[in-house]
Amino acid sequence: MFLAIVWTGIVVLLSVWPFSTGMDVGQTDKLVHFTMYSITTFLYYRWMKSIWMAALFSATLGFLMEVAQHFIEWRTFSLFDFLFNCAGVMIVSLWYYAVRGRVTTHRKDA
């Protein structure tokens, strides 16, 4: 629980902080969005024990952070950032179902 909450604080801080790296990062920030929300989903799944709740929380957080950026002078709303947030959520959800399917699939003999 503690790690999920601390990580969420880091995600929120990174989402609103005025960064100026001096470099043109191009679209590499999409990988950052994907990674941050993959980790968020995984940590909340470990805490909540529900992939649905973890995915819902993570996707909602991603959406709210993008909406908040619309109202912050030095940040901007990006639909593509939100889509990469959701892609991170989806990959962890798909991983969960792939692992769960391998672990819990039992053959019933007739």
pLDDT attached to residue 11: 96
Q: What does 57-77 look like in DSSP terms, one character per residue?
A: HHHHHHHHHHHHHHTSTT---
Extract the tokens encoding 53: 């709740």
Q: Is the pTM of this model over 0.85?
A: no
Which segments of the chain have a pLDDT < 70?
Answer: 20-25, 102-110
pLDDT attached to residue 27: 74
CA distance 102 to 110: 21
CA distance 88 to 57: 13
pLDDT attached to residue 10: 96
